[in-house]
Structure 1
């Protein structure tokens, strides 16, 4: 399972140095431009320390019953708190699945006032959204490196007309801007792209470099159907994405059950492994992505300054309201004029419909004139300071030290291999552990482990030795990995009359 390879690692000092560096560049060079030209209102809120410190985020999107929540639980090897799975729209809100000492849920309003979390600016979507947003905390190794965002199933047909009590597409756009990977999940049994799902794709397609498309449940149809479904999906995506490139679609089934269609088992496994590799690389690429996103943001902030200052230039002394209405109606011409005047790329402009909607509440005559000193400071950051920072702290991996990216990296995983612990067995022990009472750091005390270990039927003297192996830190309590190890040792003892005596300590 993917999650087992993401054990706790020491913080990379290079990562910390680069993050501190880009935070300083943002505060000194870019933030002023954003604040003066209303970037925080027109496009995106100003960045805070938590935005720079945030772990890589993976956003899952798709229509209902495509397997998004099952996919996340498969990655975690655990059902995160509050997850619901069914053929109907079961996930009715957004959930941020993060690392914490205990398995618990936190409501959206509470989560968004925590300054150490990157969600404070979500409060602008109001209480209706907050009621549909929560944080799910789990003490799992994978979540020490990644944060997953589960989303409600995109609606279709009559359900779309009922509407949501918040701006769904704007919330999706907010998460997409901050996500390190966006996973669009499609169901092999229903490829219709509804109007709402089309709007979602429109909201995220500017981030195509972060998108991964998944054709899920592919093992549930035969080879002829799979060929037709894959072709139909590519045709539908081509109409919506409107790009000349052929999009990569990962074809497999992401859940903890064996593949049903044996003919393509090898293909499904390779496709799944390719996507797992991309996910596994995210923590290592986090620094590069943060620098890349800051550069994109800086160019967009410059473009916003050019547009707002141009709008101010066009305002007459009298008849401002009439002129404003004309400019908003013909905003496309405004964009083209600004693009030619300042030699800008079309990809550096904000989504025109959303931008027009927010401009309607602004007084164009109060926009500031173009301050070339502030703009030049951003150019200096992009052209000089960021390249110097990257030279000082190179981020390329030394591939010679990573000859095998799938090498067993933790003592816990080594023990599981030595004791031949299957995923089903591990899941069973994990569920036992979850039901036991925990102390303040998420461990189970010896007195609470006594009954389930004695129930195995092993001799008490043998259990004393097993406890001393599992409780390697002599704390009188076990975490999830240590509990699984203890149960596996008991099973091995009962089956073979003994167990290896050279197991590494598990922390």
Structure 2
């Protein structure tokens, strides 16, 4: 009996001691000096040169690319080309806010894997009024955008969507229910001057999409299309793949170069168990990431507290610095990436205009006095290869066959936009404004590469006199028939 009483007293005391030890361990904060060093937060940037380059990029886009977008309704095609152009795209109507926006880092993954804790750690938000709420249960139910501001404040989703100076106005199309689940946090932080973080609700496999009250996958796709870096976070206890996670990786198709896999909370396992979990993670994701070179996987514990004892501290520290270097690379190359992105977008707009021009030209050639316009055009749209629509573009221009959009998208495109509403490229010229095709080709082949070269060489990317005033040569129309 005495032994039993002694055990009854000893066990609660042991549990209390263990709990106190855990509190002590959790109270030891990790040194964050390597974050500032790796991300070069104390380094001064040439803000004037950066602003001048953005101004020139905005000028090129509005003068040379956007007029072609509007003339041939490229944004209407974007609604139907889900598989036509995988990868990053502009919004429904590219605004100055979208062109000048900072790089976006998107955090995705199952619930309670440490996405919010990782953001708190990178920004040093622990024990501040604006630290993101974390917990063992699903805690993040909103899309939270953490961005730079002159003072700390919360911005409601309806305000973010209504502000045209921001890049989030296209989110209104997902409805008011979603805007209530969108929140912005502004704060004066040196890292947020260069990058914007987006925290997302965790994936819960047993929840139906309609229970969220908004199209979750469509919203994720919007952020994925605009993200410069995508962190997909897992922890050792949530490696199972369900329908929602499978759909997420399907949406990430074509973005493998931006994806980074993070195995978080690695210090909660012994080394041998960690190796097993690492292998299990690859086994779970292998069917979802069907590429020759898999995405980079970082193994560490990304939160403000010190690593657990008797774990691979040096390995976790090197992995963390490697991830920070990856993030820093995106930040330092943000202007080059944006110029390359706008140029890629311009190429797609040009190809679309050439295809619409070819459809219009074929329609006019096949029409006769007794022809039924609807039947003639249905025949062209249903079987474009019969009329060499796409093959003629490849033969007469320097377009790659791998850049051609999905031909099925044009059936829906012309179903909404009658072919009679488009002019041929030969008619898209004016004495003052020049030819749309000449302007977009000059931007693709000369102006944007020149801007990129001036940045890499360290020259002043300020606007030239002709670019500022719009002067130029008399328009030359090589599509006009003599």
Give TM-score, length-normalised by structure 1.
0.68
Asked if 1:64 corresponds to 2:111, the answer is yes
Corresponding residue of 1:298: 346
| Cα-to-partner distance string for 1:159-196 (whole Å, 9 max, x where unaligned) | 03545333323322322333222211122222223322
1:73–1:324: structure 2 CA closer, same or farther, 3 Å change rule?
farther
1:49–1:324: structure 2 CA closer, same or farther, 3 Å change rule?
same
Corresponding residue of 2:231: 183
1:240–1:360: structure 2 CA closer, same or farther, 3 Å change rule?
farther
| Cα-to-partner distance string for 1:361-391 (whole Å, 9 max, x where unaligned) | 6235356355275344323212111222233
2:248 and 2:389 map into 1 onto residues whose CA distance is 24
| Cα-to-partner distance string for 1:405-446 (whole Å, 9 max, x where unaligned) | xxxxxxxxxxxxxxxxxxxxxxxxxxxxxxxxxxxxxxxxxx
SS at match of 1:291: helix
Corresponding residue of 1:478: none
1:306–1:296: structure 2 CA closer, same or farther, 3 Å change rule?
same
Match runs of 1:313-352 below 5 Å: 313=362, 317-319=373-375, 326=382, 344-345=399-400, 348=403
| Offset at residue 33 of structure 1 (A) | 1.7
* Contact 2:209–2:216 (CA under 8 A) maintained in structure 1: no
1:7–1:63: structure 2 CA closer, same or farther, 3 Å change rule?
same
2:389 and 2:215 map into 1 onto residues whose CA distance is 25
SS at match of 2:246: helix
Corresponding residue of 1:283: 331
| Offset at residue 360 of structure 1 (A) | 8.5
Corresponding residue of 1:97: 146
SS at match of 1:254: coil
| Offset at residue 249 of structure 1 (A) | 0.9
1:351 and 1:94 map into 2 onto residues whose CA distance is 31
* Contact 1:218–1:226 (CA under 8 A) maintained in structure 2: yes
2:284 and 2:425 map into 1 onto residues whose CA distance is 45
1:167 and 1:337 map into 2 onto residues whose CA distance is 38
Q: Structure 2 residue aligned with 1:81, among 130, 137, 146?
A: 130
Asked if 1:118 corresponds to 2:180, the answer is no
1:351 and 1:111 map into 2 onto residues whose CA distance is 33
SS at match of 1:105: strand
Which stretch shifts more, 24-33 or 220-229?
A: 220-229
| Cα-to-partner distance string for 1:469-497 (whole Å, 9 max, x where unaligned) | xxxxxxxxxxxxxxxxxxxxxxxxxxxxx
Q: RCO (CA 8 Å, sep 6+): is it higher in 1 or 2?
A: 2
Corresponding residue of 1:435: none
**Structure 1: runs of 5+ lacking an equivalent:** 398-507
1:263–1:87: structure 2 CA closer, same or farther, 3 Å change rule?
closer
Corresponding residue of 2:477: none
Asked if 1:387 corresponds to 2:422, the answer is no
Corresponding residue of 1:16: 51
1:116 and 1:97 map into 2 onto residues whose CA distance is 16
2:309 and 2:441 map into 1 onto residues whose CA distance is 55
Q: Structure 2 residue aligned with 1:193, among 241, 256, 262?
A: 241
| Cα-to-partner distance string for 1:316-352 (whole Å, 9 max, x where unaligned) | 713489769957xx99x99976885666446645689
SS at match of 2:251: helix
1:193–1:358: structure 2 CA closer, same or farther, 3 Å change rule?
farther
* Contact 2:358–2:389 (CA under 8 A) maintained in structure 1: no
2:233 and 2:297 map into 1 onto residues whose CA distance is 10
Corresponding residue of 2:281: 233
SS at match of 1:250: strand
Q: Structure 1 residue aligned with 2:96, among 34, 49, 60?
A: 49
Corresponding residue of 2:416: 362
| Cα-to-partner distance string for 1:65-98 (whole Å, 9 max, x where unaligned) | 1211111111111057373222332211211111
Which stretch shifts more, 178-187 or 266-275?
A: 178-187
Corresponding residue of 1:205: 253
1:116–1:334: structure 2 CA closer, same or farther, 3 Å change rule?
farther
| Alpha-carbon RMSD | 3.5
Match runs of 1:261-272 below 5 Å: 262-272=310-320
SS at match of 1:191: coil
1:246–1:81: structure 2 CA closer, same or farther, 3 Å change rule?
same
2:116 and 2:389 map into 1 onto residues whose CA distance is 40
* Contact 1:221–1:261 (CA under 8 A) maintained in structure 2: no
Number of residue equivalences: 392
Match runs of 1:489-504 below 5 Å: none
* Contact 2:394–2:401 (CA under 8 A) maintained in structure 1: no
Corresponding residue of 1:154: 203
1:105 and 1:248 map into 2 onto residues whose CA distance is 34
